[in-house]
Amino acid sequence: MYATLAALHSLAAETAATHISAEQIEQLKGLNADFATAIKQGQPYQAMELDEQFHNLIVDASDNAYAASFSASLQIHIRRFKYVFLAQPVAATAASVEEHARIIEAFEKKDAALAASVMKQNLLRPMKELYAFIQNHSEGDDSK
């Protein structure tokens, strides 16, 4: 399910890169700054909301109604995993802020390939980290 969302958002970023407006880029910068603040202040729910707004703005900028519809459907199922990830220590989630900044830079350069690549990384990396976190904690439970 998460790999599907990553592919969908990667395609949306690639498509959006060629025609995203300067105003939308400024909105992304503001959302990313607020996202960073929410993470630093230990507000995982707020961070999750801001992360979704960031990604939804990119999907909307792709001007693809199908991508928007499928994305909304997948987001419903993925929210609980996202919340668990964003509740992790700041160091574990700071990479997301940096990846968002790289996506914004790719949009400013109109670099569709870079936008797509970083977007995919931004969605797949947290799932890999969350999987490792769950594995480590479940192994710890077995040793009791």
Task: Please give the span between the terminal C-alpha atoms of the chain, in angstroms, as a whole number.
Answer: 32
What's 20's domain CATH number? Answer: 1.20.120.530
Q: What is this structure's pTM?
A: 0.85
Range of the domain at 48: 2-142
Residue with tokens 């929210």: 79
| Contact partners, residue 31, CB within 8 Å, separation at least 6 | 50, 53, 54, 57
Over its length of 144 residues, how does the chain's per-residue pLDDT go in tens digits?
778 999 999 999 999 999 999 999 999 999 999 999 999 998 888 988 999 999 999 999 999 999 999 998 888 777 766 666 666 665 567 899 999 999 999 999 999 999 999 999 999 987 787 777 667 777 655 544
Q: How many domains, in total, are found in the chain?
A: 1
Query: Looking at residue 62, what DSSP letter applies?
Result: T
With CA atoms as reference, report the closest residue to 86 among 76, 94, 75: 94
